Amino acid sequence: MKRTAQLYAVALMVLLAAAWNQWTAEEPVDLEGKVVMLQGEADDVEVVRWVSTDSEATITRKSDERGAYFWVDYTRWTEKKLPAARADAAGTDTGDEPEPEREAKRSAFKSAQKAFDMVASFSPMAARRSLQVTDEAKLKEIGLVEPSGSIEIMRGGRSQKLEVGGEAYGTRDYYVRHVESGKIYLVERDLLQPLKYARTRLPDRTLVDTPKSDVVSATVNKGDTHLELVQINADDPEKARWAQAETPDVEAEQATTWVERLLNLKGTRYASPDEPPEGLQNRFSVSIKDRQSSVTLIEVLQVGEDGDWYARSEHTRGLLKLIRSAASGLADDVDGVVSGS
């Protein structure tokens, strides 16, 4: 009986020691010597949300028959400029400077590899180091009494939130607090910039995701006419050329130049979800077929007869505004390509 009690006592001491060790242990360290702040797999990230005083971004994982991608809803608030007379009247009423009015500008767009790279950098999410800060004055100094922003990561049905404070002197890295644990970290600036500047850092402005060497054919459509082109010597960038499907041994020089310009065409920004363009007219379209027999239909459209140019495809999942000169140049030359002249 006495021996049994001793065994229980030893077992209890071992358990208590293990619990104490786990409670007081330092955060895990990754291969580069950084402190792991958040654990988790990139494939489990469902939503990443950034909220600050002047911007908000929600990056959501989506999937369709073409595969997985991230969709970004971004809002930026700016100070609304009041007419001079109204501003003067507002200041006169109270004797103080009027509280500035703000207006929101919303945008929505697809992000591809850039968003995947971002969630990979959060999986695990590492910091330069952890900090022991409890003094209220110090918390105020590093911007965590009134945080300037927050990050919420939904991963596998669980939400984790970080509060973002001020910038460290010299490095301009960010002070960050993990809300659940209360721990404070110093996080590299580059880790958070894609979220803070999502509108410019995350958009995918390409019309097709097929590498040029994988493109087998392109069918150009203009009105009721069309022309099927095939790529020859696709694996050799120096010798790659385009020819009509009916005469694959004869290079179509104009078509070669035109298709190259099309495949290099990129957008500037996605159409506003709050003010979608009206009066779009189809100017031409091109069906791109790759080696896996997957087809991407690129539609090039214009607002009226002399308005802005847009494009959409299965790859963009939305309406992408184009550079006017590039789009109109392709439209001017498409008749010559389709006619084979």
pLDDT in tens, 44-66: 999 999 999 999 999 999 999 99
Average pLDDT of 249-266?
94
Tell me, what's the pLDDT at 121? 94
Residue 276 forms part of a structural domain = yes
For residues 57 and 113, state if they share a domain: yes
Average pLDDT of 6-11?
50
> Mean pLDDT across the chain, nearest whole number?
87
pTM exceeds 0.85 for this model: no
- Residue 316: is its pLDDT beyond 90? yes
Query: Two tokens at 229?
Result: 């082109």
**Tens digits of residue pLDDT in 194-211:** 999 999 999 999 999 999
Sign of CA dihedral 6, 11, 14, 16: negative
Query: Confidence class of residue 123 from pLDDT cuts 50, 70 and 90?
Result: very high
- Residue 251: is its pLDDT beyond 90? yes
- 76 C-beta neighbours (distance < 10 Å), count: 17
- Residue 170: is its pLDDT beyond 60? yes
For residues 259 and 323, state if they share a domain: yes
d(CA 139, CA 298): 53
Burial of 331 from C-beta contacts in 10 A (0-12 / 13-18 / 19+): middle
Q: Which of 212, 242, 239 is nearest to 230 (CA)?
A: 242
Residue 3 forms part of a structural domain = no
For residues 116 and 230, state if they share a domain: no
How many domains, in total, are found in the chain? 2
- Residue 16: is its pLDDT beyond 70? no
For residues 329 and 218, state if they share a domain: yes
Query: Confidence class of residue 33 from pLDDT cuts 50, 70 and 90?
Result: confident
Tell me, what's the pLDDT at 246? 93
Max intra-chain CA distance, the chain: 103
Average pLDDT of 96-108?
79
Of 201, 224, 255, the domain-final residue: 201
For residues 286 and 225, state if they share a domain: yes
For residues 332 and 195, state if they share a domain: no
- At 178, give phi and psi (nearest 5°): -80, 115
Pair 151, 59: CB distance under 8 Å: no
Q: Which of 215, 217, 220, 212 is nearest to 340 (CA)?
A: 220
For residues 282 and 302, state if they share a domain: yes
- CA separation, residue 50 to residues 74, 129, 329 (Å): 9, 22, 39
Higher-scoring residue by pLDDT: 340, 318: 318
Residue 21 forms part of a structural domain = no
Tell me, what's the pLDDT at 13? 52
Residue 11 forms part of a structural domain = no
For residues 195 and 316, state if they share a domain: no
For residues 181 and 267, state if they share a domain: no
| SS3 (DSSP) at 215 | strand
- At 32, give phi and psi (nearest 5°): -95, 10
Question: Which range of residues forms the domain containing residue 72?
Answer: 35-201
d(CA 268, CA 202): 12
Query: Confidence class of residue 15 from pLDDT cuts 50, 70 and 90?
Result: very low
DSSP secondary structure string, 39-76?
Answer: ---GGGEEEEEEEESSEEEEEEEEEETTEEEEEEEEEE
Residue 176 forms part of a structural domain = yes
Residue 6 forms part of a structural domain = no
For residues 160 and 268, state if they share a domain: no
Pair 115, 59: CB distance under 8 Å: yes
For residues 149 and 193, state if they share a domain: yes
d(CA 256, CA 189): 44
Query: Confidence class of residue 286 from pLDDT cuts 50, 70 and 90?
Result: very high
Of 151, 182, 201, the domain-final residue: 201
Residue 19 forms part of a structural domain = no
For residues 114 and 164, state if they share a domain: yes
Residue 140 forms part of a structural domain = yes
**Tens digits of residue pLDDT in 79-97:** 877 665 555 555 555 556 6
Of 201, 225, 248, the domain-final residue: 201
